[in-house]
Homo-oligomer: A and B are copies of this chain.
C-alpha cells in the first residue's frame, strides 16, 4: 500500500476543501450575520491540517492501484466529512455538540439531508448556505465516484458501466481518463445547477433561497433553508421545477454527457436507455398510486391539487431527495411506507440519487426471471441480456452480492437502533432514510433527527456512509485480504 502517496492526496484534498469555507464566510459578510468567524477558523484549521499532511509527503507520487483507490474514496468522504463538521463546532449560533456537528456534516456531504437543526428560518445565512454547499459538493463527488471511479473498482456490478465492457453506455464514448471525465461531468453539473437556480428565482424564490435550493435539488440532497422545506413556498410552480430537476439529476450523468456532446444534441440517447425508461416508469407508477389513494381519501380539495402533491412527494422520496410538503404527514400510512420502500430503488447509477439503483433492480428482476425459466427448462442455457448484449456472470454475481450486503447493513443498523431503545417505526424509517441517503423518515425522525440519542446519531452516520459508498467500498476495508500485500 502506498501510504505516503495516499497521505499526500488526502492532504491535497483537505487543502482544496478548506476553500469551501470561504464562500459561507463571504455570505456572512454580505448579510452581516456574524457567522463568519467560525468559517474563517475552520478554513485556517483545515488548510493547516491539509498542509501538514501534504508537505512531508509532497514527493510521493506512486502509481495507484485499485486497492489504494478504495482507501482514497473512503478517506475522501470520512476526512472531508470530519473537516466539514468544524464550522458547526465553531459556530456560536446554532450551538451544536460534536456529535450533532458530525452528523450534520456527514448528512450533507453524503447528500442524505437528515438534519439535527431546527429553527432553520432564523439561522445565520452563512450556516444555511454552507449546509447546501456541502450537499452540492457531495453530489459532485458522487457523480465522479459513480461514473468514473466505481466502474473501475468494480463495486456492486458497476463494472457494467465500464467503457470497455459492451453495454448501454458504450455509445457515449466516455472519456476514459478520470480527470477529464470528472471535468466534463462537473461542467454538466454546474450548468444544471445554474438552470435550476434561475428557474427557482423566476418562480418567485429570492436569490439566496434559489441558489441554496438549486444546490440541494441537483445533489438530490433535500436540505432546505426553511423548517417547512419546499412546502414553505406553497407554490405548485416551484414544486414542478423541483420535480423536473430532481428527475434530471436522478438520471445517469453519462447519458447527459452522451446526449449533449460536441457533436450536437441527441435526445434519443435517453429513449434508448433501459434504465432511464424504468426510472421514469417507476416514478409514473408511484405518482398514479399516490394520486388514486389520495383522491379516494379526499385530503385535497381538487384533483389538480391532489395530482401536484402526489407527483411532488412520489418523486421527492423515490429519487431519495426527501424534500417535504406540509401535508405529507397526514397521508394514509400506506403511502409514506410505499414511498420509503421505493427509495430502496432510488435513482439511476451514475446519478446523485441514493438507494440500490434502478440498474441493479433491473438486473435482479432479470436474474429472478432467469431462475424461473431454469426451473421449467433445467437443461437450457439462459443468459441475462441488457439491450443486445449478454452480461458476464461476474456482473450478475456482484449485483447479488450488493443486494444482500445492503440488506445486511440495513438489518444491523436497524437492530442497533432498537437496541439503543428506539421505537420500531422510527428505527425502520431512519435506517432506510439514511442507508438510501433519503433524509427524513417517519415517527420521531419525520421532520428532523434532533431528538434521537447520540448513539443513534453515530449509528446512522455510519449507515449513511455505507449507503453512499455503495456498501462494498467501505466493507472491503474491513477484510484482512485488503491489508495483506
- Measured CB to CB, the residues of A under 8 A from B are 66-67, 70, 153-155, 293, 332-334, 337-338, 341, 364, 367-378, 393-394, 396-398, 400-405, 407-408, 411, 414-415, 418-419, 421, 423-425, 428, 442, 472, 475-476, 479, 481-482
Which of A154, A332, A337 neighbours the largest number of chain B CB atoms within 10 Å of its CB? A337
Give Cα distance in the complex from A378 to B476, angstroms: 13
Is A334 within 8 A of B475, CB to CB? no
In the complex, what's the smallest C-beta–C-beta distance from A93 to chain B, in angstroms?
A: 37
Q: For A154, give its contact among B70, B341, B374, B401 (CB under 8 Å).
A: B374
Besides the known contacts A153-B375, A293-B419, 18 further A-B residue pairs in the complex with CB atoms under 8 A apart: A66-B375, A66-B376, A66-B378, A67-B376, A154-B378, A333-B423, A334-B418, A337-B418, A337-B424, A367-B400, A368-B405, A369-B479, A371-B401, A371-B402, A371-B405, A372-B476, A376-B482, A400-B400
Q: Can you name 15 A-B pairs with beta carbons within 8 Å?
A: A67-B376, A70-B375, A333-B418, A334-B421, A338-B415, A367-B400, A367-B401, A368-B404, A371-B405, A372-B476, A375-B476, A393-B393, A424-B424, A424-B425, A424-B442
Give Cα distance in the complex from A414 to B344, angstroms: 15
In the complex, what's the smallest C-beta–C-beta distance from A69 to chain B, in angstroms?
A: 10
Which of A378, A393, A400, A402 neighbours the largest number of chain B CB atoms within 10 Å of its CB? A400
Known contacts A374-B154, A472-B375; is-contact A404 B405 (Cβ 8 Å): no
Give Cα distance in the complex from A403 to B481, angstroms: 27
Is B418 within 8 A of A373, CB to CB? no
Is A371 within 8 A of B398, CB to CB? yes
Give Cα distance in the complex from A42 to B293, angstroms: 43
Known contacts A333-B423, A411-B341; is-contact A376 B418 (Cβ 8 Å): no
Known contacts A338-B418, A400-B367, A415-B334; is-contact A476 B407 (Cβ 8 Å): no
In the complex, what's the smallest C-beta–C-beta distance from A474 to chain B, in angstroms?
A: 11
Give Cα distance in the complex from A111 to B383, angstroms: 37
Is B418 within 8 A of A371, CB to CB? no
- Residues of B within 8 Å of A369, CB to CB, are 479
Is A476 within 8 A of B338, CB to CB? no
- Residues of B within 8 Å of A404, CB to CB, are 364, 367-368, 400, 403
Give Cα distance in the complex from A414 to B482, angstroms: 39
- Residues of B within 8 Å of A414, CB to CB, are 337
- Residues of B within 8 Å of A402, CB to CB, are 371
Is A479 within 8 A of B376, CB to CB? yes
Give Cα distance in the complex from A419 to B368, angstroms: 26
Residue of B nearest to A375 (CB): B476
Is A472 within 8 A of B372, CB to CB? yes
Closest 3 CB pairs of A and B: A371-B401, A400-B400, A334-B418
- Residues of B within 8 Å of A370, CB to CB, are 397, 401
Give Cα distance in the complex from A397 to B381, angstroms: 13
Give Cα distance in the complex from A67 to B378, angstroms: 10
Is A372 within 8 A of B479, CB to CB? yes
